[in-house]
Structure 1
Amino acid sequence: MQLRRVAVLGGGPGGLYAARLLKLADPACEVVVHEQGDPDTTFGFGVGLAAGTQRKLEAADPDTLREIAAAGLRHNMTMRVGPAVARVVNDRLIGIARTELLAVLQRHAEKAGVELRFGTRCAAADLDADVVVAADGVSSATRENGDFGARIDVGKGLYLWCGTDFALPDAVFAPVTTEHGTFVTHAYPYSADRSTFLVETDEDTWRRAGFDVTTAALEMVPPAPDASDETSLRYLESIFAELLRGRPLIGNRTRWLRFRTVHAARWSDGNTVLLGDAAHTAHFSIGSGTKLAMEDAIVLVEQLRTAPDRATAFARYEEIRRPAVARLQELARRSRLWWESFPARMHLPVEQLMVAYMSRAGNVPLDRFARSSPDVVGPALRQYAGGRPHVDPAGGDLTGWVLGRPLTHGGRRFADRTTVPTLARIESDLDDPWSPDGDAVVARARATDGVLLAGPATRPALLTRLDLAERVRLETGTLTAVEGPAALRDDLAVGLVSGRTDLVALIEETP
């Protein structure tokens, strides 16, 4: 398809990358990026690019990836609970300052012949273009003013972004329990002298700390558009002082927020197509905003290049990208629910907590994690088995070993984890174990000597059932078992090691 003129709304990573790829694909096409902000200022700290995204960028545009990689910082990952530390080697992840990433993408866009216009607010309807790419973010005015059928789900937990003036040695997840409740940081280095420092907490803790008051004050009478919640920053730097080495936290429009998950029923309307956060968002704990936007850009440009017309290109783009986005959004939803309920797991040894974290969304199998991180999984298996010897976590039938461990619970002893006594059976098919329906299951479980949670045999339903079992187990202390198909025994095994359930009931599916 021959395009005469393309307008891109939004000068973030997705918009800039789409503009460059469009110009490289069709040098004769006029490509203009319209960004309402100033080129010398940006919101945010660092962003991360995982190995899979880097491979896709390498295939689409190796020159840009080469400069991004050179400007970024690779790091591993740790979980810290007090003095205890579990470390996972994952140096394929690149952290890069958002300012530097934008600078790289701006240079490469202009090098390709893209025109960048800053400081102007434009609407899609006002632009004379064959195609308008709306990459104007989670609060997209284009999406809100068009026929895209958008729905936004708002999370329960609260979080804020801030930064440090030094580079942490690794990415780190570290909870701190205070007189108000638990705050947990997700922090990672992105340059030689900077780190992102994200903090999240539950609503009750947030209110007890008085941050509902500071948030309301900023929202109702903001002293300046860029003002940060300085009261929260000073408190957080005091409770995370050891991790911060006594250094201050840096704000940049830093305010408590609830995560908004965007679902657009349609990604195009007329000559306008949504890209990145304008079309979809996924919780930050999966590290997916920049990834999704840049991967969207690769597919969109390819379809615009090869499709016979605009409508076909838009349809193919959505057909290709929507399944991948839906999968990541589901992983992110599970991850968000795990983090929103994080304080309930503070009793776990740090290695078991790391296994629970890595398996929270269902996309990291236990055997694969054991091969890559035996120094973490080995101790976690010993903790699960009460200190007994175990198989080599990097080899053997790990799932079989997990299922075969004995259990003593409330004076009852079980030879293995698949021998399930007669328990109160509760059928459940929830999306959110921490919903009112989940409350009802917990209430029913309190009146029993043990429960068997059953439900649909699909993998998503089983993963949710394991999360529900964890809540029942932690809140009631009753013996908890989960029923699931034998074909999903690996998921059941990681649920046992992670402390989500006590026992599992394997069922053979009939053809």
Structure 2
Amino acid sequence: MKLNTIVVLGGGPGGLYAARLLKLSHPDADVTVYEQGVPDKTFGFGVGLASRTQRNLRLADEDSLNAIVAASHPHEMSMRVGDAEVRLAHGELLAIGRATLLAVLQNYAHAAGVNLRFGERRTVADLDADLIVAADGISSATRTELAEAFGPEIIEGEGLYLWCGTEFALPSAIFTPVTTEHGTFVAHAYPYASDRSTFLIETDEQTWQRAGFDISTRETPTGETDQVSLDYLQKAFAQTLQGHRLIGNRTKWLRFRTVRCRSWHTRNVVLLGDAAHTAHYSIGSGTKLAMEDAIALDRALLEADDVDEALAAYEAERRPSVDHLQAIAERSMAWWDSFPDRMTMPVEQLMIAYMTRAGKVSVERFAESAPQVANPGLAAFAAVDVVDVPPPAKLTEWILDQALTAGEQRFVNRIAPEALRTAVGTVQIDISVRPWSNAATKLIVDLPPAATYWLTGPDHREAILDRLDIAERIRRETGAVLVVDLPAEFRADAAGAIASDRVDLVAFTS
């Protein structure tokens, strides 16, 4: 297919990367990026690059990836609750300043022959091009302009968060909560340069209001930083900050917006990155998704005979993985929104709950990669010595074999006896609601009193993960014993939920 003119709307990482790849693949085409901002002004602090993302970028364009890695800062990961801290060694985690990343991608786009037009706003109606790539972010004007064709759905999360930074490099990425007189705040922080770290801090709406941040948010003009909140949080996270200050960059409290679109393309216009979809920051950055979109789009255009075929192929390839990631991200977002409920757990066990929170990592896999953390966490769960924790390959059955005492009830292992299903004091519930929805809240409020709740429902994995999540809500809010039905093929998911205190017992249906 011959493309004469390609226009990219948006000069963020996804747009710049797409422009470079498209110019390299179509050297005779005129490729132009329009960015309404200017090169030396950007919003945000650091951007994380996981090992899988690095591999994908290397296969697509090794030169730019090498430059990104050279400008990045490696780090490990840790979690601290109070004075207890655990650390995970992870040599492949990198972060880079957003401004630095943009500078690298601008240079490589320019070197490929891309025209970079800064300080210029364009819309689809202004353009005449063979292909228009809309990489114009979460508030995409293109998506709004062509909303009837794209069919966007935007859902706001319940919790609130803000992005800020500090002028020193943390020794590792860290997840840590602090509780003030107003409630609990949780920081996700990581170093991205030798003298800089990102701080993302989140809380629930009630804590946010009690601290007066609803007022400070309302009184902070658009484009400015909520200094009232930063001053408060700087004191709250003084231990982690080690005497350094928090710095803002148009920093205000936000609710995360999950974007989905019925279609990602119409005519010769295609959405890329946050314009098409978002996934909660706790499972990876929008930068990762946008750059991987660019790789798939470039490949589809090389392999197809015309633009319509290429854009359909791009969406067909990317949508399943994005849908899967968004499902994982929703679980992760809900886990962090309810994080304060878990702060009584030993930090090693809490790290197990964190790693297995979205169904992406099993206990066995985590134990293989980080036995120094997983084994003490499992020992705390089972109330045994660390030396009594078996090797990873035996963990699933070992967890299921642990006894449980709950009030006056005692169970020899975590497989619920069938007689319990119809016993006096057991209430069976068929679950058909999402675990963190208003419908789930109403279901819990309306539950009849019971010693045991036995949850049933569909047998596909997403429904099972929903049941395990809603079981945790019911367990924490009622103190009852929670049993979840699930097929035997999901024994690993059952073990992870049990070891993380999401559920007490399971019943295998096949």
Q: TM-score range by the shorter chain?
A: over 0.9
Contact 2:416 2:483 in 1 (8 A): no
Answering whether residue 424 of structure 2 is matched by residue 427 of structure 1, we say no
* Cα distance per residue 1:103-159 (max 9 Å; x no partner): 000000000011100001111121121101100000000010012111101100000
Contact 2:75 2:94 in 1 (8 A): yes
Q: Secondary structure at the match of 2:392?
A: coil
* Structure-2 separation of matches of 1:389 and 1:310: 59
AA in 2 matched with 1:267: W
Match of 2:190 in 1: 188
* Structure-2 separation of matches of 1:301 and 1:394: 44
* Structure-2 separation of matches of 1:318 and 1:299: 9
2:247 to 247, 250, 260: 250
Q: Secondary structure at the match of 1:501?
A: coil
Equivalent positions of 1:15-414 (< 5 A) are 15-146=15-146, 147-218=149-220, 222=221, 225-387=222-384, 392-414=389-411
Distance 1:73 1:393, change over 3 A: farther
* Structure-2 separation of matches of 1:5 and 1:155: 39
Q: Could you tell me the TM-score, scaled by structure 1's length?
A: 0.96
Contact 1:370 1:378 in 2 (8 A): yes
Contact 1:446 1:478 in 2 (8 A): no
* Structure-1 separation of matches of 2:392 and 2:201: 37
* Structure-2 separation of matches of 1:389 and 1:71: 40
Contact 1:454 1:482 in 2 (8 A): yes
Q: CA RMSD in A?
A: 1.2
Contact 1:445 1:476 in 2 (8 A): no
* Structure-2 separation of matches of 1:395 and 1:153: 39
* Cα distance per residue 1:251-309 (max 9 Å; x no partner): 00000000011111111122211110011011111123011100000111111122110
* Structure-2 separation of matches of 1:397 and 1:40: 54
AA in 1 matched with 2:430: E
User: What's the CA shift for 1:446?
Assistant: 5.6
Q: Secondary structure at the match of 2:188?
A: strand
* Structure-1 separation of matches of 2:87 and 2:140: 38
User: What's the CA shift for 1:247?
Assistant: 1.0
* Structure-2 separation of matches of 1:463 and 1:417: 18
Contact 2:47 2:285 in 1 (8 A): no
1:496 to 481, 498, 506: 498
Contact 2:376 2:386 in 1 (8 A): no
Report the more deviating stretch, 84-93 or 252-261: 84-93
Report the more deviating stretch, 421-430 or 57-66: 421-430
* Cα distance per residue 1:141-198 (max 9 Å; x no partner): 0010012111101100000000000000111000001111110000000000000000
Q: Report the count of equivalent residues.
A: 502
* Cα distance per residue 1:66-112 (max 9 Å; x no partner): 01001001111101000101211222111000000000000000000
User: What's the CA shift for 1:435?
Assistant: 2.5
* Structure 1 consecutive aligned stretches of length 4 or more whose deviation exceeds 3 Å: 388-396, 443-446
Q: Secondary structure at the match of 2:249?
A: coil
User: What's the CA shift for 1:444?
Assistant: 4.7
* Structure-2 separation of matches of 1:18 and 1:56: 14
* Structure-1 separation of matches of 2:253 and 2:214: 9
Distance 1:20 1:286, change over 3 A: same
User: What's the CA shift for 1:483?
Assistant: 1.4
* Structure-1 separation of matches of 2:165 and 2:114: 32
AA in 1 matched with 2:429: I
Q: Could you tell me the TM-score, scaled by structure 2's length?
A: 0.96
AA in 2 matched with 1:351: E
User: What's the CA shift for 1:391?
Assistant: 5.0
* Structure-1 separation of matches of 2:393 and 2:207: 44
AA in 1 matched with 2:115: E
* Structure-2 separation of matches of 1:133 and 1:476: 50
5+ long unaligned stretches in structure 2: none
User: What's the CA shift for 1:458?
Assistant: 1.3
Q: Secondary structure at the match of 2:150?
A: coil
Report the more deviating stretch, 242-251 or 441-450: 441-450
User: What's the CA shift for 1:387?
Assistant: 2.6
* Structure-1 separation of matches of 2:385 and 2:16: 55
Q: Secondary structure at the match of 2:129?
A: coil
AA in 1 matched with 2:181: E
Report the more deviating stretch, 103-112 or 87-96: 87-96
